[in-house]
Amino acid sequence: MEKNNNRSLVGLGLLLITAFVWGFGFVAQSIGADYVGAYTFLAVRNWISFFLLIPVIRLLDVYALRRGQKQITVESAKENEDPVRKGKKLWIAGLICGVFLFAGSATQQIGIAYTTTAKAGFLTSMYVVIVPVIYAIIKKGIGVKVWVSVILAVAGLYLLCIKDGFTLGKGDTIVLICALFFALQILFVDKFVPEVDAVRLSQLQFLIVAVLSTVFMFVLEKPTWEAIYAALPAILYAGIVSSGVGYTLQIVGQTMVSPTVGGITMSLESVFAALGGWIVLGQLLTGREFAGCAVMFAAIILAQIPIGHFVRRKRTPGLETSEANDG
């Protein structure tokens, strides 16, 4: 039990780092949008991420071989599975997860142009609600504790991001759609990571997004080297840190926690986005925004607390409640 708790804490830490780099990625996206179109930004960003992981995977494989393993798996690949079957499964996983990642990233970047950053942050993070709803429908029920955490997370995001009322315009609708795509991407990652290599899955996602973005870039936009060069600092951060590091840590971290807890933790990107706006762009946090941060962290803590350790439950033989449904 203690080993599982330690594993969950490690996963939580990785997903918190993911939320941090994604949050500051909003700043990079905002800066990059001043110079290049959405698909140009995504194309360059994801090609960088794809090529970045080539030497990383090589180093991980060398490290694994020295330890007497076939490949670095992070408990994600079945050692005795046929290599051809394993490769096919990896490509299927990469294609599915990559398509949803592309759809989410593209709709987010497009929607930001038609709405405020605050609303975009709130609406994007609505995947924190969508994940457990879909998960409960297709797999199993979710405990009361997690639902309370979801409500707290949404309340915190509202306090943090929404100002002066709430209207759902064109950009809001597009960004809300992106939340659905991100929720599906999270759930498919959760489905595939026990069966495929996590880091290779991350790389394949970037390849799919890069290829699709490149196609749309040439069809719908007119990219120039001058514009790309002007946006390069923002693209490099987004490609190396936000995508290369963030999405890889997401995949590894999700092997250690439930998808609902993972979704809530990663929703903290809105908190870090606000901090990034303050530090980089000079946007000060109000008392209400600080309150939102506090509520969000409360949701994370609640989602991780093993309630069963503090509440004595009456157990009837054959009718014991599982820990999974307790949170």
Q: What is the DSSP string of 238-292?
A: IIIIIIIIIIHHHHHHTTTS-HHHHHHHHTTHHHHHHHHHHHHH--PPPHHHHHH
Q: What is the pLDDT of residues 242-295, one digit of tens each?
A: 887 887 787 788 778 877 777 778 778 877 887 887 788 776 777 887 788 788
Rounded Cα distance, 97 and 192, in Å: 9
Rounded Cα distance, 312 and 302, in Å: 18
Q: What is the pLDDT of residue 40?
A: 94
Q: What is the pLDDT of residue 312?
A: 43
The number of beta carbons lying within 10 Å of the beta carbon of residue 225 is 7
Buried b (16+ CB within 10 A) or exposed e, 261-292: bbbbbbbbbbbbbbbbbeeeeeeebeeebeeb
Rounded Cα distance, 260 and 136, in Å: 10
3-state helix, strand, coil in the chain (%, to 5): 75, 0, 25
Q: What is the pLDDT of residue 304?
A: 57
Rounded Cα distance, 107 and 123, in Å: 12
Q: What is the pLDDT of residue 80?
A: 56
Tokens 């009718």, residue? 319
Rounded Cα distance, 121 and 296, in Å: 14
Alpha carbon 183 to its chain centroid, in Å, reads 9
Rounded Cα distance, 143 and 166, in Å: 30
Q: What is the pLDDT of residues 21-37, one digit of tens each?
A: 988 888 888 888 889 89
Q: What is the pLDDT of residue 79?
A: 54
Q: What is the pLDDT of residue 59?
A: 80
- Locate 183 and state its tokens: 């929720």
Provide the whole-model pTM. Answer: 0.75
Residues with pLDDT less than 50, the chain: 72-77, 309-327
